[in-house]
């Protein structure tokens, strides 16, 4: 509901860390929102070595443990889950395991898996990202190219918003649009002049986009759909 303070959980992309949100975090906090940004496995200040991270589950463990610590069935405590770039894969795992703890998932120029193709089929752009690594990273191709880890009942039940960064030369707009077309979200937003690191190049615009998403009455929408026995499609 508009005006209510939310809990934003920010998930970084490949070879980055929680540090990449340093411009966005104070903006969200200045509006009274709670913000959590974690370093994933072998990322940022996380103490794990890369050779200790064998699977995508190992990589996502810090986030999964945090989400497990949140109370169940607390509508007021649902988080706004934000994933950037490869972080889109990570938040999809959270959506699958903890759908009732997520108010809405926001994909910022991020991979957004569909329910037909294995997640690894969208990773060609992330292989280009490997050339720009700040910290060594592995892409779990074998782990993620197996049968889909996601389901309509869990992952598919969470509201999704995709934010297109129009000047992203790494994950180009055409590729972002292809991701959107393969599994249409509930809403699409566009940021003019934003490159791949929108939280650094356009932090105030991204902040406004996230406030708009957070202020939408997603829970009332769900309640209305359940009352009518319908779906969002």
Spatial CA neighbour of 219 closest among 100, 106, 67, 66: 100
Residue of 180, 159, 152 lying closest to 225 (CA atoms): 159
**Residue pair 36/7 in contact by the 8 Å Cβ criterion:** yes
What's the alpha-carbon Rg for the chain, to the nearest Å? 17
Distance CA 100, CA 90 (A): 17
Question: Using CA atoms, how far apart are residues 90 and 112, in angstroms rounded to an integer?
Answer: 10
Residue linked to tokens 């995709």:
162
| Contact partners, residue 228, CB within 8 Å, separation at least 6 | none
Alpha-carbon distance of 142 to 218, in angstroms, equals: 36
Contact predicate 75/4, CB 8 Å: no
Catalytic site positions: 85, 168, 196
Query: How is residue 206 annotated by DSSP?
Result: H
Output the CA torsion 171→176→178→181 (10° steps). 160
């Amino acid at each position: 509901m508009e005006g209510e303070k939310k809990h934003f959980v920010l998930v970084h992309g490949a070879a980055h860390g929680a540090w990449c949100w340093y411009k966005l975090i104070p903006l969200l906090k200045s509006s009274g929102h709670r913000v959590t940004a974690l370093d994933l496995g072998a990322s940022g200040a996380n103490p794990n070595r890369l050779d200790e991270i064998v699977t995508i589950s190992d990589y996502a463990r810090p986030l999964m443990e945090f989400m497990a610590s949140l109370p169940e069935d607390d509508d007021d405590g649902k988080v706004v889950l934000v994933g950037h770039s490869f972080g889109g894969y990570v938040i999809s795992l959270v959506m699958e395991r903890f759908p009732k703890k997520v108010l809405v998932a926001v994909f910022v120029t991020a991979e957004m898996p569909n329910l037909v193709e294995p997640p690894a089929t969208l990773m060609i752009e992330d292989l280009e990202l490997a050339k720009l690594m700040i910290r060594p990273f592995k892409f779990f191709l074998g782990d993620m190219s197996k049968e889909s880890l996601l389901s309509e009942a869990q992952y598919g039940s969470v509201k999704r918003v995709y934010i297109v960064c129009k000047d992203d030369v790494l994950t180009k707009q055409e590729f972002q649009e292809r991701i959107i077309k393969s599994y249409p979200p509930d809403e699409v937003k566009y940021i003019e002049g934003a490159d791949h690191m929108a939280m650094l190049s356009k932090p105030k615009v991204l902040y406004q986009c996230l406030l708009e998403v957070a202020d939408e009455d997603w829970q009332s929408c769900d309640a209305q759909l359940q009352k009518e026995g319908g779906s969002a499609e």
